[in-house]
Amino acid sequence: MLKRMFMGGIPVFMVLGLTACGSEPVVEKKAVSDASKQQESKQDPVTLKLYTYQNFTNEEMFNDYIVEPLKKKYPYITVQLIRSQAGGMTIPDMLAAGDTPDLINGWQAEIKTLENYHLVGDMAPLVKQNNLDLGRFEPVAIDAVKALSDKGELYGIPYNQQFNALYYNKDIFDKFGVPYPKDGMTWEEAIELGKKVSHQENGIQYRGLAYEHISRLSSSLSPNIVDPKTQKANVNNDAWRKVFQLGKDIISIPNNMPPKVDAGDTDAFWKTKTIAMYATINMLESTKDTMEKGLNLGVAQYPSYKELPNTYGYLDAHFIVVTPQSKNKDAAMKVVEVMTSDEVQLKIARKYGKTSPLKNPEMKKQLAADMTHMKGIDLQPIFKSKPAAGMNFSKYYVESRKKLMSEYLNFANGSADMNTALRNAEEAINKYISTEQAKEK
């Protein structure tokens, strides 16, 4: 009897105990995993159409975000990318052809325009059905998309979050013996520093401080251009006066006037290397060539308005939308799942320097870790600022912004005083909205 109670020198009751407490769960997990893979492989093939306002930088990024992770986890799902830019199709084109996309990606204002085509709806039920954990996301990112709906509906899921930074050319500061920018500067302090490195030397004009465009300067204050409740212009006010004046103060630094106002200074900073400080958004990915050609880069915290310390622009993110008309919503949600998984988000953060909307601290710690040209550059100052809350953009925002920017140019170039420029912008925006509303009736 006693011999029968032993197997290979190990008591049977120990084998049973080990099976119950150790080995069995591992086997079960593997079995479940294998069964899940088999189930996915038996699914009928599904092709989803993704209309992209925010084009992936290249095919490789599209593969990293979607194609490869789908191949691993949901091989029966294929995503066809339909580009909006460079002569691509428009949403009206697709709808006219009876070809509604399953997925659409874009930033807030672009997503808001989808209301015009009934291509957004509350994704909260889909999120619940597909067990997508919104608790993994930064609340400000989720709140930003909810802000787009009057009812707080979840129009999309964030997969990429923008940041602002103050990039600076160390060689220019060294040339003029001026200390590098420090974190926590106000715009007034940045302007004073810019004055110290705005010089002409050997026929070259070195400009001290440049900004991307006036709309980006405004974003820390979150001044909506169109009131979402009244659908009227919201520009002839103190917030926009402050923004217009800041832009004018920057370009009025001696030797700092750009060749073309409010056109962006990307090339002047990165290629010709004649700008000391450039305040703009995430440009980590596009800097490789110029840094390999000798740009001595530093990154500092984005300057802030003194009444809003450590705050950069309103939450500017890219969202993925599952359209209410999609006939394959569950498959579309699996695309959302893989795009926002920790594995994919971390890979994108490391490889492309994209900041993630996830709470996982590794996304910040490992930002640009695989980008060889960013080695040795401290990127943590980026995270010393927080984004302002997202806004409820009007569906008329995009065109209205163009009209406001046009009037800023008149002010900056001296052809109109500030009050006239803002009044003209208000009138132009209201006229445009009124015309569009008449078409909609």
pLDDT in tens, 348-374: 999 999 999 999 999 999 999 999 999
pLDDT of residue 40: 55
Asked whether residue 441 carries a pLDDT value surpassing 60, the answer given is yes
Which residues pair with residue 165 across a beta bridge? 280
How distant is the alpha carbon of residue 368 from its chain centre? 15
**CATH number (domain holding residue 197):** 3.40.190.10
Over residues 268-277, the pLDDT tens digits come to 999 999 999 9
Whether 33 is covered by a domain: the verdict is: no
- Map tokens 């110290």 to a residue: 196
Please, where are the H alpha helices in 261-394?
266-270, 288-292, 329-339, 342-352, 362-365
Whether 203 is covered by a domain: the verdict is: yes
Last residue in a domain, options 339, 360, 381: 360
pLDDT of residue 388: 85
pLDDT of residue 39: 55
Pair 115, 135 in one domain = yes
Please, where are the H alpha helices in 353-440?
362-365, 397-412, 418-440
Pair 287, 400 in one domain = yes
Say if residues 23 and 29 touch (Cβ distance below 8 Å): no
Whether 13 is covered by a domain: the verdict is: no
Asked whether residue 20 carries a pLDDT value surpassing 50, the answer given is no
Residues above pLDDT 70, as percent of the chain: 90
Q: Could you tell me the residue range of the domain that residue 107 belongs to?
A: 46-162+316-360
Pair 155, 171 in one domain = no
Whether 70 is covered by a domain: the verdict is: yes
Whether 75 is covered by a domain: the verdict is: yes
Angstrom distance (rounded) from CA 313 to CA 328: 36
pLDDT of residue 56: 85
Pair 91, 147 in one domain = yes
Instruction: Count CA atoms within 13 Å of residue 114 on its CB side.
Output: 32
Cα distances (Å, whole numbers) of residue 370 to 91, 160, 346, 348, 353: 36, 18, 11, 10, 9
Pair of tokens at residue 260: 């073309």
Q: HEC states along 132-156?
A: CCHHHECHHHHHHHHCCCCCCCCCC
Which contiguous run of DSSP H or E holds residue 298?
strand 297-300
Residue 87 CB partners (closer than 8 Å, separation 6+) = none
Pair 206, 328 in one domain = no
The stretch 276-286 carries a mean pLDDT of: 92
Whether 23 is covered by a domain: the verdict is: no
Over residues 400-409, the pLDDT tens digits come to 999 999 999 9
In the chain, how many domains are there? Answer: 2
Pair 173, 142 in one domain = no
Please give the angle made by the CA atoms of 116, 117 and 121, to the nearest 5 degrees.
95
Q: Which residues of 352-372 are buried (b: 16+ CB within 10 A; e: fewer)?
A: bbbbbbbebeebbeebbeebe
Pair of tokens at residue 406: 């046009």
- DSSP SS3 for 184: coil
Asked whether residue 99 carries a pLDDT value surpassing 80, the answer given is yes
Asked whether residue 120 carries a pLDDT value surpassing 90, the answer given is yes
Residues above pLDDT 90, as percent of the chain: 73
Pair 213, 279 in one domain = yes
Residue among 160, 181, 168 nearest 355 (CA): 160
Asked whether residue 319 carries a pLDDT value surpassing 60, the answer given is yes
Angstrom distance (rounded) from CA 337 to CA 205: 50
Asked whether residue 246 carries a pLDDT value surpassing 90, the answer given is yes
Q: Regarding predicted confidence, which is higher, 54 or 65?
A: 65
CA torsion 118-124-126-132 (nearest 10°) is 140
CB neighbour class for 126 (10 Å; exposed up to 12, middle 13-18, buried from 19): buried
Pair 417, 303 in one domain = yes
The stretch 387-396 carries a mean pLDDT of: 87
Pair 85, 68 in one domain = yes
pLDDT of residue 43: 87
Asked whether residue 11 carries a pLDDT value surpassing 70, the answer given is no
Whether 22 is covered by a domain: the verdict is: no
Residue among 234, 193, 119, 180 nearest 378 (CA): 180
Pair of tokens at residue 391: 């806004």
Pair 54, 93 in one domain = yes
Residue among 150, 317, 117, 111 nearest 231 (CA): 150
Whether 28 is covered by a domain: the verdict is: no
The stretch 227-254 carries a mean pLDDT of: 95
Angstrom distance (rounded) from CA 391 to CA 199: 39
Pair 153, 198 in one domain = no
Pair 347, 424 in one domain = no
pLDDT of residue 14: 37
DSSP 304: B
